[in-house]
Structure 1
Amino acid sequence: MVRHRSSAVPLAWLYAALIGYASLYPFAGWRVSSADWWQFLVSVPPHWRNTFDLVSNMVGYLPLGALACAALLRSGQEARRAAPLALLAGAGLSFAMESLQNYLPRRVPSSIDLALNTLGTLGGVALAVLAHRLGGIERWQAVRDRWFISRSAGGLALLLLWPLGLLFPAPLPLGLGQVLERAQEGLRALLEDTPAIDWAEPFLTAVPALEPPSPATELVAVALGLLAPCMVAYTVARRGWRRLVLAAGAALFGAAATTLSTALNFGPDHALAWRTPNGSAGFALGALLAVVLAPVPQRVAAGIGLVALTALVLLVTQVPADPYFAESLAAWEQGRFIRFHGAAQWVGWLWPYAAAVYLLVRIGARADEGEGSPT
């Protein structure tokens, strides 16, 4: 079987890391348990678990099974070998997470969770194998060859993750990357009561002058927030009408994810509250710039995208969190949104920085990797 570079590989690793985050959050109060760590395997499961808990434990591992199996299949493994390896990986990760939960006071390990996680992994593996048997993976490779250059796995992974990051509350529509304050808080907690706190103090106390965004700032930030993923797409997409389709897809998914995020945070009645005059104008400007820049070479697109991301982060960092934003953020971190907190939060925080690193690599990529056909 032919080996292919697949976006399923980085996505599978990232999803596994996010499962680890969600399983062990908030990483506080570690202690040595008096009982043996393996007792959860034979103990009576807790009776307070509700239907949502049970379903989420199973569904949460389904994408991991599908991604892990797809990654193995795309790497050249046969289905009879890829399927058990992916199932073993998912079950092993669940076993490791349940075992570590013994040492966290706010977590309760359970054999039921382990069984449901394994069942979810099995369901994902079955879907990947079914898609493989029906020729879905081969057809996707044919489509990918027509639309994208050969080394496009990283760019495609970033594009698939972008809408997920938009689900986490942002101070401005499409305004990903506001992580400075949280980084300062985390570093302060890490260095507290250590000699390093003295030399780190200038960074920990350096807070930009936060002012409510002007109409121009909001407009430009939204435009850059849409332009950035379009430029990431242009670095891996072949030139021509395909880039316009990808730009339209970015606009559609960006609007849908922002609408869903607003509905989750403020209720369905306010789902379109983000469509202020400035936000809508910024969205239109970003789409227009994406259309105008569609013919540019890949390296030029990477450079423009890097500039757009840098400007976006600088603008978003200077926008204060209003009380409604803070309230919705608290709902994510303390309520049921904690189920999706890790995935959306980390992608929303880190996507611009990961995309910037990727674009730097694309700028230095070999010219013979192919601009592709313009037709």
Structure 2
Amino acid sequence: MESLVVIGQGYVGLPLAQGATHSGLKVTGLDTNPQTVHNLNLGISHVDDISDAELKIMLDAGYSATTDPDTIATADAVVICVPTPLGEAGSPDLGAVEGAVRTVAKHITPGTLVVLESTTYPGTTDDFVRPMLEESGLDLDTQFHLAFSPERIDPGNAHYGLTNTPKVVGGVSEASTLRASEFYSKFVETVVPTRGAKEAETAKLLENTYRHINIALVNEMAKFCHDLDIDLWDVIDAARTKPFGFQAFYPGPGVGGHCIPIDPNYLSYQVRKALGYPFRFVELAEEINNSMPQYVVRRVQDLLNQNAKPLMNAHVLLLGITYKADIADQRESPATPIAELFQGSGTKVSFHDPRVKSWHVNGEELQSQEDLAHAVAQADVTILLQMHSEYDTEHLAAVSNLFFDTRGVTKGRDAHRL
């Protein structure tokens, strides 16, 4: 039985471990957090897409979690799925990647396949990871293989998961591409090999930069369409009836999650570093998308003013604080800067989210309102930030004192849309 060690048991690593376990591989999840490891071995999941019951099935099939790096020595394949946040000045922070790779280098044995799945800038696998592994004294292709394969997990997506989402794979050599492709073919239906690791790294960044820029386009349009008294939501509905040449993107209160607000910056960083000039599309999109929380606050202030209420001391209720609907993940959610801006203006902020019990804003812990109807009645303005399936928005808009819809889901006249 082929053995796999997945380093990092978060939103990327645990679903990967699940898919590999179900395919018959002997999978060990390696994580530096003892509490995470303890909970996983007890069958307690911290990832939205994997329930406790599903984790129990994994455990019964042989999956286990550990903090012991010695497990790498017996692995046929090691996949690195650790965070790559932005550091100072927008540069990628590869600290977790470096730590993982150095750990692998200390324990790797001849014949091991190593794959990096953590999103990063082009060249990381060739120029950053490979030299550290070669310090172990092993030779590429004769004693180990190395590749990059971008994660494509879409949290909360009921249709596409690890198995039926095509897997892009690029090795630092042809032999490494072939070895990695054979490995992923064991539990992914379609494997897409690329020319090399740099192409695989850049493919991931292109996917998310494409979305980042098109979201910025409609966010910019939302602003001037409001000023021109044009219903942008109706415009998009009309445009999307064209059966070719158009893909609908929608405005919102900002972008969230790890991918869209973060990944395009890796590409912009590498272009500036290697070529000395800016990636202007990305930098402009970043500016526009980052301006949306401030725009939401200004629109709410205007609504309050029209109703003879000042923003200061007003009571604002935020509905849905996660970055995506129907999940609990709050990474990079625009709800946080929006709440901070309101608090900075002297506004009283409360929130309701069916998937989040408590929320920290400016060092203050807020508790989700238990009685939604009462919370809406007490708020001067209710703001829909995330469209969780539990929300009956037409009813909420009808019973609110003021209702501001940043997702364009309301149709009646009781709501004000972004």
Scaled by the length of structure 1, what TM-score is found?
Answer: 0.25
Scaled by the length of structure 2, what TM-score is found?
Answer: 0.23
Higher relative contact order (CA 8 A, sep 6+): 1
Considering fraction of residues, name the structure with more strand.
2
Considering fraction of residues, name the structure with more helix.
1
The higher radius of gyration belongs to 2
